[in-house]
Structure 1
């Protein structure tokens, strides 16, 4: 999906009509609902895609995964922090050149300044999807199946929430957000296939003093 969407943005194709239709529908909904709560929620969700808090969560996920691997007595405890750091560096390397190359104006249609990047793909969506997704993936390799489902579900909800918040707040076109999701999805898919699964740490053993047989 990333390739056809990017092609449509590059050539100003008919698919961009979807962006305009969604923006009009969202603006009409905001006007009719006139909900301060929803507007604040949209902005709060959008802010979750900023470098703070997304990058600290990513790095914390790498550290937590390394600690759990260490507790389990497995090797490669160095791998999750390394993956987290490399992911944090990869985000701008992918997003900034793409924004500069496409040079897409934002929803308000104001021409870009000479020193300004474009809106495509959405940096906040990409940052959130990469950061929360990779953090969840790293920790998920050290827990059981139920824990993996919860972590991956939470990361997906955060990523979707950030994207919807950006569209609701009129910060980005819908296709900007979709491109961020697709870009992160490709990297997460490749990373999930490459990363080894580490065993969860053993449960804490009970205090031996509480199980010492009574002297007879």
Structure 2
């Protein structure tokens, strides 16, 4: 889906009609409801995708997971910190070059300034999806199944809320947000698949074990 959406954005394809239809529908709904509360909520949700607070939450999740792993006697207990730091550095490496290459104008259609990045994909959505998702993944690996499910659900709701808040507030096209959700999901899938499972440190062999 990420490839298809990116291709349509690159060639200004017919799929972008979804963006225009969605923006028109959201604008009509916003004007019809005329709710200050919803408008403030949309802006607040959008702000959750900023580097602050998302990156501090990511790093704190890595630190908490490392501390819990250390207490549990896990080999390479420090690896969650490394994963969190690498994820924080990976986000701009994935988003900024894509924004510069696609150079997509925002919903208001104002041409980009020479020193301005484009709107595709959504940086706030990617930051939220990866920061909250990876934090939940790292901490969840140190918890039971029920707590892990709750953390994953909370991270998914935050990522969804940020994206919807951006669309509601007319900060981004819908496909900008969808692309970043897909990008974040791919990175999280890779981490779930390839991140090694922590194991407790082996205790010294007892005499009976050596017999």
Shared fold (TM-score greater than 0.5)?
Answer: yes
- Tell whether the 8 Å contact from 1:141 to 1:199 is kept in structure 2 after alignment: no
**Alignment partners' CA distance in 2, 1:76 and 1:145:** 22
**Alignment partners' CA distance in 2, 1:45 and 1:113:** 27
> Does 1:187 find its partner at 2:159?
no
Q: CA offset at residue 197 of structure 1? A: 3.4
Root-mean-square deviation over aligned CA pairs: 1.0
- Tell whether the 8 Å contact from 1:143 to 1:199 is kept in structure 2 after alignment: no
| Aligned equivalent of 1:117 | 117
Q: CA offset at residue 151 of structure 1? A: 0.6
- The TM-score normalised by the length of structure 1 is 0.91
Q: CA offset at residue 198 of structure 1? A: 3.7
Q: CA offset at residue 119 of structure 1? A: 0.1
Unaligned runs of 5+ in 1: 201-216
- Tell whether the 8 Å contact from 2:75 to 2:199 is kept in structure 1 after alignment: no
> Does 1:12 find its partner at 2:15?
no
Q: CA offset at residue 140 of structure 1? A: 0.8
Q: CA offset at residue 195 of structure 1? A: 1.6
> Does 1:28 find its partner at 2:21?
no
- Tell whether the 8 Å contact from 2:69 to 2:77 is kept in structure 1 after alignment: yes
SS in 1 for 2:111: coil
Unaligned runs of 5+ in 2: 201-211
**Alignment partners' CA distance in 2, 1:13 and 1:178:** 16
> Which aligned pairs between 1:129-148 and structure 2 lie closer than 5 A?
129-148=129-148
Q: CA offset at residue 196 of structure 1? A: 2.9
**Alignment partners' CA distance in 1, 2:142 and 2:109:** 46
- Tell whether the 8 Å contact from 2:136 to 2:151 is kept in structure 1 after alignment: yes
- Tell whether the 8 Å contact from 2:84 to 2:134 is kept in structure 1 after alignment: yes
- Tell whether the 8 Å contact from 2:119 to 2:176 is kept in structure 1 after alignment: yes
Q: CA offset at residue 73 of structure 1? A: 1.1
| Aligned equivalent of 1:208 | none
| Aligned equivalent of 1:157 | 157
**Alignment partners' CA distance in 2, 1:89 and 1:162:** 20
Count residues in correspondence: 200
**Alignment partners' CA distance in 1, 2:136 and 2:34:** 35
**Rg larger for:** 1
- The TM-score normalised by the length of structure 2 is 0.93
| Aligned equivalent of 1:210 | none
**Alignment partners' CA distance in 1, 2:195 and 2:8:** 34
| Aligned equivalent of 1:49 | 49
